[in-house]
Structure 1
């Protein structure tokens, strides 16, 4: 019996991409390792996460989502810092170059537009009144890096796996889009707004999801919608979510300090939490309040004094003239971020990042002191990060991708 079950699981893994996605030479099939799959659990959907190299944005991470009926597959940037799931759509007003075909609503039998007069539209936080589309629910979204998407809110079939298909999913159909999306089709927003995928699918998965971001571009992580078995592991340590009524869609956490090589840095926690700190998979570099960043940077430079500094790289001001081969031999200073009840040691891949011909400290000062601090995706890599919005907590499990 065990042998038969093992064969069935292996067969499912092999057939999974064929069942879900059309085969083409632009979007490769992705498979999850066997230890991260559970096709028998309707309350858990597992999707592979891969490096943004797939869409020419190596600093980000992507998933493949099926949209429409018949299903078409699209690369979407995986983003815990935003709310809306959207893809580029025909007809194009101003669209960037996309790796695979732009979605054509006329090709899907389940596509429907949302009237501007509907309660769904009036309650939509990104509703924008457009003269060109007075009867449909228009939206406009601008991101922190000045990227944007403008389009209409629609209902469409969303396919996550062959066993997780959701008709009537509220999706942004972007006709005017520009920014740092590479050649991907759009964004998958996982914040806590009612429009996010987490909220829309909560009746199936609860308001729980987790992910692990791989540190090697050729390796795979995963996104789990629903409660995985590891989320209740004793290895997963939780910190409470702090809610701010003025920013209800954000999941803030209590950032209480930073250590470097075992020494707690002299940073007042009130500085780190003004006005708050969030985790954001759509931002590669951790952004700290200027005072906190200066203390970390100066301490790091002292510990790395034996290595020559190079030219600054945009917002990164602590860069070293070392080769990749040399970097592998250097015992980098250990950086630990302290949150309430949880300590997160940054993987060495999240300490120095390559920018042109130099390797730079993967932390920077916030551009605007009035915006939240951000824990970027480089500093989250290798951990399973668990968002339990039902329990109002976020967990971290080391070695989460393996």
Structure 2
């Protein structure tokens, strides 16, 4: 029997105060023990491992949840603004985590540094992707933001002390026979220790997810059955039931956190891999987010790197970018993770425009311009400084050839739609790269579109397979 819903949660302000001043400070021991926690957490007592392929439909956010903009130009500017904020805060928030990790004795007692505080800001204004996820018994389907930069899975729940507007009806846990609150001593709740959790009434585990753009979700941590369309279901998946929520989630019901921690969705369902194929952001088509599927046979395989001091994110060693045969090298100091956890290049589903160090970006831009003389130039838009008027389609030989170079000598050819970003409705396209002043870079989803991108977690490899949407 489903438990009856409790009374609504207090206001966001009260809960934020509560979480800010009662939680224990972040400690490096919590991170160093995370591998042990992951193995302990997902024993067969909690949920049976699954090796079958599970699949969710994956949609551009703006195709299923219409953004509130009067013009396409406004939508683009919103995407770019959110994108820059996400890239900046991914970097600055990791820096905060590393400072606490590397110098734990320098952290003042009144400074609360929580890993869940270090979630990246969301960019739901038509710049990301949502998965259609089944929750509960009987199954109710919801659009959740699929985000490799988030870890806690959650959705808004009734009763709702404070909720934002969403497209789907709000989930009612009292109507699900498989909903089960987690106790404060449960293995799943223990995995949230040092990550914004508190023990509530009746020994109930309470989670709190605070994002970089001040969006927030607080509620009950529970287990629930998650369904994957007709491909199957997994029982007893830990998921947050948010009773107090606010922020910019673009009318999605919540978050599907694909990050690399023990509470991330891939670990929750014991997936050996996950993969997605991202269609164009403006497309009305959909593709799939798959778990446990093998990389296609024509995949370009490159190492997947985890930062032991910041486990949420997935890194790759991008060593250079080649344009018409001329290589723009990326220095090892930019693509390798240092002993202090700094540096590296993150692959991110929620970032649209790839962010590179200024020196690297300037070289890429200048080399591109040299070989793009047949493309008619246009004024820059929204901080993108290299744009072209493609209202009259140039001949094929007008587009430069571009490819990514990875460690091990692997090469990934890019199509024009992977390096040019549509900037308005009049035919203006801009180079889909920008600068970052932070010590790490981010590969955005423009370069990933049209590829089946596989995260082989068991073998620590990426697979990039073209034309698989």
Range of TM-score over shorter length: 0.7 to 0.9
Q: Distance in 1 between matches of 2:202 and 2:401?
A: 56
Picking from 438, 446, 452, the partner of 1:378 is 446
Tell me if the contact between 1:257 and 1:269 (Cα under 8 Å) persists in the aligned partners: no
The secondary structure found in structure 1 opposite 2:362 is: helix
Paired residues in the alignment total 351
| Residue 369 of structure 1 pairs with residue 438 of structure 2 | yes
CA deviations 1:55-85 (Å, max 9, x no partner) are 2343222210011111110011222222222
What residue in structure 1 maps to residue 52 of structure 2?
43
CA deviations 1:192-218 (Å, max 9, x no partner) are 21112211212xxx4112221123612
Tell me if the contact between 1:81 and 1:279 (Cα under 8 Å) persists in the aligned partners: no
Tell me if the contact between 1:113 and 1:155 (Cα under 8 Å) persists in the aligned partners: yes
User: How far is the alpha carbon of 1:163 from its aligned partner?
Assistant: 4.6
Higher relative CO (Cα under 8 Å, sequence separation at least 6) belongs to: 2
User: How far is the alpha carbon of 1:99 from its aligned partner?
Assistant: 0.7
What residue in structure 1 maps to residue 135 of structure 2?
67
Q: Distance in 1 between matches of 2:347 and 2:422?
A: 22
CA deviations 1:173-228 (Å, max 9, x no partner) are 223334442121122112221112211212xxx41122211236123321221133
Tell me if the contact between 1:189 and 1:197 (Cα under 8 Å) persists in the aligned partners: yes
What residue in structure 2 maps to residue 211 of structure 1?
276
What residue in structure 2 maps to residue 196 of structure 1?
264
| Residue 248 of structure 1 pairs with residue 307 of structure 2 | no
The runs of 5 or more residues in structure 2 that have no matched partner are: 1-49, 67-124, 338-342
The secondary structure found in structure 2 opposite 1:249 is: strand
Distance 1:232 1:180, change over 3 A: same
Tell me if the contact between 1:335 and 1:345 (Cα under 8 Å) persists in the aligned partners: yes
User: How far is the alpha carbon of 1:143 from its aligned partner?
Assistant: 3.8
What residue in structure 2 maps to residue 225 of structure 1?
291
| Residue 340 of structure 1 pairs with residue 407 of structure 2 | yes
Tell me if the contact between 1:69 and 1:157 (Cα under 8 Å) persists in the aligned partners: yes
Picking from 192, 206, 213, the partner of 1:138 is 206
**Which is further off, 256-265 or 272-281?**
272-281
The secondary structure found in structure 2 opposite 1:140 is: strand
Distance 1:303 1:144, change over 3 A: farther
The secondary structure found in structure 1 opposite 2:304 is: strand
The secondary structure found in structure 2 opposite 1:265 is: strand
RMSD between aligned alpha carbons?
2.7
Q: TM-score, normalised by structure 1?
A: 0.79
Distance 1:291 1:145, change over 3 A: farther
Tell me if the contact between 1:88 and 1:174 (Cα under 8 Å) persists in the aligned partners: yes
Residue pairs, 1:25-44, within 5 angstroms: 43-44=52-53
What residue in structure 2 maps to residue 31 of structure 1?
none
Picking from 49, 65, 68, the partner of 1:55 is 65
Q: Distance in 2 between matches of 1:304 and 1:94?
A: 51
Q: Distance in 2 between matches of 1:134 and 1:291?
A: 56
User: How far is the alpha carbon of 1:131 from its aligned partner?
Assistant: 8.8
Q: Distance in 2 between matches of 1:119 and 1:42?
A: 22
User: How far is the alpha carbon of 1:145 from its aligned partner?
Assistant: 4.9
Q: Distance in 2 between matches of 1:142 and 1:294?
A: 35
The secondary structure found in structure 2 opposite 1:377 is: coil
User: How far is the alpha carbon of 1:395 from its aligned partner?
Assistant: 1.0
Residue pairs, 1:222-371, within 5 angstroms: 222-228=288-294, 231=295, 233=297, 235-273=298-336, 275-304=343-372, 307-313=376-382, 315-320=383-388, 322=389, 324-326=391-393, 331-341=398-408, 342-356=410-424, 358-366=428-436, 369-370=438-439
User: How far is the alpha carbon of 1:292 from its aligned partner?
Assistant: 1.4
**Which is further off, 180-189 or 381-390?**
180-189
Distance 1:131 1:157, change over 3 A: closer
User: How far is the alpha carbon of 1:158 from its aligned partner?
Assistant: 0.8
Q: Distance in 2 between matches of 1:113 and 1:107?
A: 14
The secondary structure found in structure 2 opposite 1:173 is: strand
